[in-house]
Amino acid sequence: MNNNLITIDNYSDTIGIFNMKDAINKNTFTEEFIEEMILKLNEVIENKNFKAVIFKGLPDIFCAGAAKSELMKLFKGNLSVKDLVLSELILQIPVPTIAAMEGGAVGGGLVVGLCCDMIVMSERMMYGGGFTDLGFTPGMGFTRFLQSLVGEFIANEMIFTGKLYKGRFFGQKSLVNYVLPKDEVMPKAIELAQIISEKPRGTTEILKYSMNLKKRQLLQEARVHEDFMHKISFNQPEVKNIIEKMYTSKLL
């Protein structure tokens, strides 16, 4: 396992940075990246010193979702879909989490941000699903999380069309906490984390548990429907052909 794909950095004794930095694969969910992410998420969950955790990606790509190699394995029936647990693990982090999305995010990569408690986006970068462009249905709780963020009708358009939107779209509709120039994203996330870190961990921890209840319920609900839809959509021969011929992350 390459332990440099993701690191847990200490901005301070009480602020952790979950740093996703697989530059070669552009932070796509390769098997190695997923395994490393599961390991590091569990480390964060067990950490008793952090009072806030910032999720950070590459300068141009926060996280880009499933790698082509992993999607193709689904047609052979030999893949344990480990990325399904990523959403659950992020939600299990006991302290407030902040997505510092300097770069764009698509598919499961956007879900990583949606699982966080606060989101800071870059105004010019692109964000969205893109699942249907490759012929299959969303996973990781995307359908329910997106509806919760943007509302039913905008979520329907984003999911059915596969369109990506610049960060400023989310800012104009006040859908996330902040939408800023790229170089201001990380400083704002750090500012938020510093304010939170001044509070007693016990207080923010119990608040986090209570306020995250809806997301945990949404994830459990989504899993039933999304797993069922995956079985149907990945059983279509044309989907395999689409992925083989057309796969390229919109962010790459």
CB atoms within 10 A of CB 163: 16
Per-residue model confidence (pLDDT) at position 56: 99
User: Average pLDDT in the 220-240 region?
Assistant: 83
Per-residue model confidence (pLDDT) at position 130: 84
6-183 carries CATH number 3.90.226.10: yes
Predicted confidence band of residue 224 (pLDDT cuts 50, 70, 90):
confident
Note whether 10 and 50 are within 8 A (CB). Answer: no
Is the pLDDT confidence value at 27 over 70? yes
CB atoms within 10 A of CB 180: 20
Residue 134 DSSP code: G
Give pLDDT tens digits for 58-69.
999 999 988 877
**Residue 88 token pair:** 């659950």
Is the pLDDT confidence value at 193 over 90? yes
Radius of gyration of the chain (CA): 17
Is the pLDDT confidence value at 136 over 90? no
7 Rama class: left (phi>0) / alpha (psi -120 to 50) / beta: beta
Predicted confidence band of residue 79 (pLDDT cuts 50, 70, 90):
very low
Q: How far is CA 69 from CA 25, 134, 240, 243, in A?
A: 11, 14, 12, 10
pTM for this prediction: 0.92
Sheet of 104-106, strand order:
61-63, 104-106, 126-128, 164-166
Per-domain residue ranges of the chain: 6-183
Q: Which residue has the higher pLDDT, 229 or 43?
A: 43
Per-residue model confidence (pLDDT) at position 72: 76
